[in-house]
């Protein structure tokens, strides 16, 4: 109500209504976490994911079939997957939307030569099996691969060399990059499948055999270690490996020949006195797992086929909290 002198009159009832609305708004703001309320704390607690938790990374837009090794674009969030039985290299974004990046006959290993820049068309390489031999193909130039080994699988780059697992001859095959010359080999005494570089001085190689093992090749001295001591941890069919930001080494164990009984092994301090443990045990859903890549506290694992793993998700990408 406006008085003659321009003053505004509010009766007692209106004042009570205004006060009530103001109090309710304040309560609502606090309840929404605006001042560190309880809902913010509850959200933090619910977001804590225990190490070893396995979930599916749901992928749309492509068909995953016989996925093998994987790699993240070093300067981005896209995941690249060797989709072996469909003769494809897949690109999957952070939301799980997939597309066919390139075609290649039976791709197995996958790695980025990050010293070459951020463009996957010039830095993504895959080791693959061809009718006329085996080689490394460069991203969109897969139809004319570099034939540098007999039967390649895992692949890893340092700033100056490439290392490829030659499964036929129990050795690593190396070339200087980017010239791809100065061929050399490193005898391993087993069947290599996974190769990973720690960014410093060590190359780790997973070897299948009886039993399977992990060896370390020290670049500065040119020496190959004996199998790393894993204690009671069993690795009958180790495959891909990945390192986290703290230098822990993770190894996918495919289990048996049918891809059942898969596990994920964590090796702390692999460059010193290693301490091995199972991060994911039998029955948690790993089956025929072959590829692995690390990003933002999670391991991404490519599951293959399996015949007797009730919890398994065949031909899928899983996420495992480290």
Domains of the chain: 53-321 (2.120.10.30)
Tell me what pLDDT residue 230 has: 93
Tell me what pLDDT residue 161 has: 95
Judge whether 33 and 40 are in contact, CB under 8 Å. yes
DSSP 137-157: EEGGGTTS-EEEESSEEEEEE
How far is it, in rounded angstroms, from Cα 126 to Cα 103?
A: 11
DSSP state of 23: H
Tell me what pLDDT residue 130 has: 53
User: Could you give the count of Cα atoms lying within 13 Å of 211 in the half-sphere of its Cβ?
Assistant: 17
| pLDDT tens readout for residues 30-63 | 333 333 333 333 334 446 999 999 999 999 999 9
DSSP state of 198: -
The residues, ordered by sequence, that sit 6+ positions from 312 with a Cβ below 8 Å of its Cβ are: 260, 262, 285, 286, 287, 303, 306
97-119 residues labelled b (16+ CB within 10 A) or e (exposed) = ebeebbebebbbbbbbbbebeee
Tell me what pLDDT residue 198 has: 97
How far is it, in rounded angstroms, from Cα 318 to Cα 300?
A: 6
Tokens of 196: 């990973």
How far is it, in rounded angstroms, from Cα 73 to Cα 315?
A: 22
**Full pLDDT tens readout for the chain, 322 residues:** 443 444 333 343 344 333 433 333 333 433 333 333 333 333 344 469 999 999 999 999 999 999 999 999 998 899 999 999 999 999 999 999 999 999 888 899 999 998 878 899 889 999 886 555 567 877 666 666 777 766 778 999 999 999 999 888 899 999 999 888 899 999 998 899 999 999 999 999 999 987 899 999 999 999 999 999 999 998 989 999 999 999 999 999 988 877 788 999 999 999 999 999 999 999 899 999 999 999 999 999 999 988 777 788 899 999 999 9
Tokens of 28: 């609502």
Q: Starting from the edge strand earliest in sequence, which strands make up the sheet with 98-103, in order?
A: 67-72, 79-83, 88-92, 98-103
Tell me what pLDDT residue 128 has: 81
277-296 residues labelled b (16+ CB within 10 A) or e (exposed) = ebbbeeebbbbbbbbbbbbe
Closest CA to 157 of 238, 71, 92: 71
Tell me what pLDDT residue 32 has: 35
Closest CA to 229 of 209, 207, 210, 214: 214
C-alpha 248: how far from chain center: 13
Query: CB 26: neighbour CB atoms within 10 A?
Result: 12
């Amino acid at each position: 109500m406006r008085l003659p002198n321009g003053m505004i009159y509010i009766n007692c009832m209106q004042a009570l209504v205004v006060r009530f609305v103001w109090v309710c708004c304040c309560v609502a703001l606090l309840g929404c976490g605006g001042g560190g309320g309880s809902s913010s704390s509850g959200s933090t607690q619910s977001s804590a994911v225990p190490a070893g938790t396995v979930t599916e990374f749901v992928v749309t837009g492509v068909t995953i079939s016989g996925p093998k090794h994987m790699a993240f674009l070093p300067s981005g969030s896209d995941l690249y997957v060797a989709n072996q039985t469909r003769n494809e290299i897949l690109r999957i974004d952070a939301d799980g939307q997939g597309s066919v990046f390139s075609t290649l006959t039976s791709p197995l290993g996958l790695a980025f030569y990050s010293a070459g820049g951020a463009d996957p068309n010039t830095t993504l390489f895959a080791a693959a099996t061809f009718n006329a031999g085996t080689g490394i193909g460069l991203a969109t130039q897969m139809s004319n691969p570099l034939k540098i080994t007999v039967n390649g699988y895992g692949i890893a780059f340092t700033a100056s060399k490439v290392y490829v697992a030659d499964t036929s001859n129990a050795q690593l095959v190396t070339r200087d990059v980017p010239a791809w010359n100065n061929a050399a080999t490193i005898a391993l005494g087993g069947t290599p499948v996974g190769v990973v570089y720690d960014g410093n001085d060590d190359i780790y190689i997973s070897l299948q055999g009886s039993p399977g093992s992990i060896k370390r090749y020290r670049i500065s001295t040119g020496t190959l270690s004996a199998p790393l001591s894993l204690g009671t941890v069993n690795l009958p069919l180790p495959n891909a490996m990945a390192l986290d930001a703290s230098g822990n080494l993770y190894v996918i164990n495919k289990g048996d020949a049918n891809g059942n009984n898969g596990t994920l092994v964590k090796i702390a301090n692999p460059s010193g006195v290693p301490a091995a443990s199972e991060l994911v045990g039998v029955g948690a859903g790993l089956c025929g797992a072959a590829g692995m890549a690390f990003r933002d506290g999670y391991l991404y694992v490519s599951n293959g086929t399996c015949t007797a793993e009730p919890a398994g998700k065949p031909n899928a990408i899983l996420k495992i909290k480290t």
